[in-house]
Structure 1
């Protein structure tokens, strides 16, 4: 894969951190965990503007959001979820999915704090090892709740 989509996929390790995919969208774990369970929801074809989405892709987006929210609620019991579509640097249609937590949560032998609650999330996030990212990714996959 090359071009904008290839660069984007490599930067965010989309295939390595993939949680779930549909015909048009891929949900993957963010390499830098802004908050526990932070992810990327990206369109599978190269596309630089939301206005260029096709109706089937919009319908599929609706299904994907339901899977993401139900799964993350079940897995981590977030308080609210933020979807950020910035595309300032990465010119590919995608959303940063940021579960938000009022209080500290403990998972994977670690305390997680949403340090910018209730303000705008700090997208820098923490650096985790490959093993830690794999553990979070696997846990989310094990807690997948499909749209019903």
Structure 2
């Protein structure tokens, strides 16, 4: 795995692994169910991904959206490809909703709604919280 995937806690944060992609629990949760969708390749530019990664991406996005719809009942979903600090191809997947969601005795407010996600205002999951969210989300992937 590349350094970006490792930095986001792989393998402890792993929700689902595909041939070219991994879906990870985002340890810092600006909204409930925030994920990292990361390419397994060493590519640091989007166009450098192999063609098969682009083809597989549709299947991965469908699975993410189904799982998060059930888990968070989001109104919108944002895919943010920032790649400023962590150089390998990845997206921050942020479910969006008006108000707050509760899970595992924690409250997750979408502080940026309806504008840009407030990434700095996030619930930081401890290792037990990461494990619980990973389990809850993994069971929702087809």
Fold agreement, TM-score > 0.5: yes
- Extract structure 1 runs of 4+ deviating beyond 3 A: none
2:140 corresponds to 1:143: yes
Q: Which runs of 5+ in 1 are unaligned?
A: none
* Counterpart position of 2:109: 113
1:1-148 alignment runs, 5 A limit: 5-6=2-3, 8-124=4-120, 125-144=122-141, 146=142
Inter-partner Cα distance in structure 1 for 2:97 and 2:108: 9
Deviations along 1:93-148, one digit per CA (max 9) or x if unpaired, are 0000000111222221222211111111122322221111111111111222x2xx
Q: Count residues with an aligned counterpart.
A: 141
Q: Normalising by the residue count of structure 1, what TM-score does the alignment of the two structures yield?
A: 0.89
| 5+ long unaligned stretches in structure 2 | none
Tell me, in whole angstroms, the C-alpha distance in 1 between the residues paired with 2:76 and 2:39: 23
CA RMSD of aligned residues (A): 1.3
- TM, length-normalised to structure 2: 0.93
In 2, the alpha carbon distance for the partners of 1:55 and 1:129 equals 36
